[in-house]
Amino acid sequence: MKTIMTAIGLWALAVTAAAAATPVTTAAPAQGRAVSRSGLFGLGVELGEQNGGTAKLWLSDDQAVSGGLGITSNGDLGVHAEYSWTAWRLLPQPPKGELGIHAAMGLRLRDDEFGLRPTAGLDYWLPGHPVELFIDAGPVFRLSPDEGVDTTAMLGVRFYLAQEKSK
């Protein structure tokens, strides 16, 4: 357990160092957005139902695949993966940065269980930096070994490995 927690801590440190060394792109705005997200890949840390690493790949400006790997409070290894849709103009926007609301459908795997994980949450992009803060929550419908419903909640940060967009 101590080895796993050390590995997660080292990974979080490496992600933070990579984000600090990554230049901010000056991609052209897409559909009125401050930054085009399509193709961006981010790594970060999430805390909550499980604590560990997270990754996200934007397939378009409003759709992405994401997932996480970590340790639960009872010591189980946990993995989750989702396909998400984000609405960037549904909520009032802050003076700086961008605020979106997302819905996602995915799976959760534990040492001894499998379940469906629909979630909803908020995403906030820091102005001028490839950094996303997020929070999401929802039910988990356990399908094996026993049926039932749990809840899930996570908050975290992802640092995007910015790439220049072709014009």
Which domains are present in the chain?
2-161 (2.40.160.20)
* Backbone conformation region of residue 7, classed left if phi is above 0, alpha if psi is from -120 to 50, else beta: alpha
Mean pLDDT of 124-145: 94
CB 164 within 8 A of CB 25: yes
| Residue 106 in this model has a pLDDT that exceeds 80 | yes
**Is the pLDDT score of 27 beyond 90?**
no
From CA 167, how far away is CA 164, in angstroms rounded? Answer: 9
Q: Please enumerate in sequence order all residues whose Cβ is within 8 A of that of 72, keeping only pairs 6 or more positions apart, or say none.
A: 49, 50, 78, 110
Distance CA 95, CA 51 (A): 31
| pLDDT higher than 90, residue 28 | no
* Pairing relationship of beta strands 50-58 and 63-72 according to DSSP bridges: antiparallel
Give the least confident one: 43-52, 74-83, 91-100, 157-166.
157-166
